[in-house]
Structure 1
C-alpha cells in the first residue's frame, strides 16, 4: 500500500506570531543595539519618535537580502526576501534630523523561530535629571563666556567688543569658482576683513545622490605656502542633505598680514575624504 505524500501544511514551518513592541536606543555607544525580529515575506515597520534623514539610511544585505525597503519621515519599512540565519545579524542605521543624542539610530535585524515584529516603536532613552542639569550648566557657562567676550548683541555688541572699529569691514567676492569634487560644488566664496579678525565664507552645495556632508576641519594657506592657524570652522546647518546648500565659515587667527592678500582655503569632512574644491579668497 502506497503512502500519501505529506500535506503542504506539514512541510511548511509554523507561522510566526506577529508582535508590536517598543525598543529603547542606548545613550552609551558601547551598549548593544536593540534587535528587531524579521521574517521572509513579512513587512516590519520601524517607527521613530522624531524625524529621520531617509537619505542617510544604511542597511546591510541590501538589496540582495530584501524584497522591499522604504523610508519616510519617521518610518523605515523592510521585508526580507529570505529568512536570516539563526546567528545572522544585519545592521540598520539612520540619522535623526534634530541632532539630539543619540544622533544616529542603530538596530540589528535578526530572525526568531516563532516571533516576528510587525511594528517596532524606536525611542531614545530619556536623559536623567542629573544629565540634563549638567548639560544646562555647560550651556550657561558657554553663554556667559560669549557675553563676556562680545558684550551686547547685534551691531552694538560688535563695536563694544572691538570686533568692528573705525576701519569697518571689507568684503571681497571670489571671482574664480572651482569645479566639482567629491560630490561637492562651491557656489561662491567671500572674504571678510576687519581690524582684529578675518573670515573666509564658502557657499557649498552637496549634489543630489550624495551622502550627507558636514565640515570637520579646514586649512588656510598663504600664497607662499605658509599655513595660517584656523580658530574655528562652522556651518549654518548641522549637515547638508543631498541637493542642499549651506554656508561654511573659516576663521583664522588674528590677522597680522596686510589686507587684500590671497589665501588658499581647504574644507574637509571629519573623515578627510570628501573635501570642498579648493578656493582662493582675499582676506
Structure 2
C-alpha cells in the first residue's frame, strides 16, 4: 500500500497527452480481446485491482528493458523506459490469487499520441460456479460469512447513513431518502428515484460520482430494479464505487444518466462520514 501511495503522489512529467483515470471490468470471456492500456515514456501508470494478485507470477513483455514494473498485493505500477513504436504492443498478464474464475487478466500496453492512462481501477467480475448453472442444483444464498471471507467486510465494519431526499423541479425528478454503506474498500449508495410523469419506464443506464472539489470517483457497478416503496413508477438504484481519496472531501454529486433521448438526474446531497481508523 505504501508503494502505491508513493507512486501516485510522485509528480508526473509534463506531457501533451490527456491523462486518463478510469475503471475497467475483467470478465474472463474467451471472446473478449485483451484490454488496451495506453502508456507513455516517463509517465507512471497505476493499476489497482479489487482482488489480490500473484505478485511473483506477473508477466510483462520487455520487463526491465522497455518497461519497469513494481507489484504490490493488489497494485501494479508501470513506467515505460522508452517510447513504444506506433505498432508496438507489450502483453501484461495478471494472475489472481484466490483461485476463482477468471484466473487472470490480460492487457495490451500500447502507445497513443493523444492520451495516456495514469490510473486504472480493475474490477474482476467473478464467474458463477458451474454447479450453480445446473437446473437441479440451486445456489446457496450469500451469507455474512461469505461477505467476510471474500474481503467485502472486515473487522473495521460498515458505516451507514442517510442520503437526504431531493427534488429537481426543473426536470421533474424526485429522489426519496436513501442510504449509504461505507466499508474499508467500497462504498454503496442506494436511492429510490421517481422519474417525471412523461417517462414512466425510465431507467438509468450509467452512473457517475463527482466530489464537490471536482474529483471523479470510479464507479464499479450499478443496478436498477423496480421500487417496492413506490410500485409502478419508482426505481431502486444501487451504485457501488471505490472509497474516495481523502483529497476528494466528503460531499458528492451522484449523476444518473438516462438512455438515448431520456433525461438524467443529479443528486447533490450525498455526504459520507470520515473514514474509520484502519485496524488492519
> Does the pair score TM above 0.5?
no
Bin for the TM-score computed over the shorter chain:
0.3 to 0.5
TM-score (norm 1): 0.41
TM-score (norm 2): 0.41
